[in-house]
Amino acid sequence: MKTETPGAPRALTGFLTLLYKELLRVWKISFQTIAAPILTALLYLVVFAYALEGRVRVFEAVPYTTFLVPGLAMMTMLQNAFANSSSSFIQSKVTGNIVFILLPPISYWEFFGAYVAAAMVRGVAVGLGVLLVTGPLVGLPLAHPQWSFVFALLGTGVLGTLGLVAGIWADKFDQLAGFQNFVIMPFTFLAGVFYSTRSLPELWQKVSHLNPFFYMIDGFRYGFFGASDVNPYVSVSIVAVFLMVLSAGALALLRSGYKLRG
């Protein structure tokens, strides 16, 4: 991995080219990368609406199905941002065509930025699709849209970066699937997507607050209802620090060439 500074006078050609490649990949299989996750979120909403509507109320004057939609949207964004960077990277490693990405004079900053930006685009596109499909069905309010926007960007950035780290670490698809099934899936499902942590016993509330994904979902939901389990300023600070730490780790791996050089 080349180590030019991001200020090199190449007008970020490598970044833009690699970003275009990643976005084109998402577009060419959009039925799988965009449409399928939206359908999955809609099925979650239908099933949980039928099972729990009228039996569970989290926020005053907010029906359960309405409460559920932002959580489903954010969960879908996080999972798809992770899937985009991780699957693209591991596919390049397994097929051997990663050499065509490593040989050009692309700095590790541009490499990192392109993969994470593409993951963010896919994640936000899927989340917006979920909101457009499910929002009108439940009469979704939007109290503080700026907060939802900020947490959508930070959350997809975190998971895009985590996906890149997983893709660098994994040597085969099985390892990546294990990472997704035993790390990403539990952390998202146990982050308050389907419930408020206030409904949990005190011990499990404290355990939930150790999960950084919780702050992403709770802060995103605040943008819709103006109510949350944790102060949104606390949540945005925690998520931002988490993103910076992960980004520093990913950049260090890229700079060192870990599992990239032969």
Q: Which two tokens stand for residue 75?
A: 């969960």
pLDDT at 56: 60
Profile the chain (262 residues) by mean pLDDT over runs of 10 residues: 49 84 94 95 85 64 87 96 96 87 85 96 98 92 96 98 96 93 92 86 91 97 93 98 98 92 63
pLDDT at 9: 46
Taking the C-alpha atoms of residue 51 and residue 53, their distance in angstroms, rounded to an integer, is 6
For 236, phi then psi, to 5°, come to -65, -35
pLDDT at 25: 93
pLDDT at 13: 82
Taking the C-alpha atoms of residue 145 and residue 222, their distance in angstroms, rounded to an integer, is 9
**Residue type, position 240, single letter:** A
pLDDT at 34: 96
Q: Where are the domains of the chain?
A: 13-256
Mutual angle of helices 64-95 and 36-52, in 10-degree steps = 150
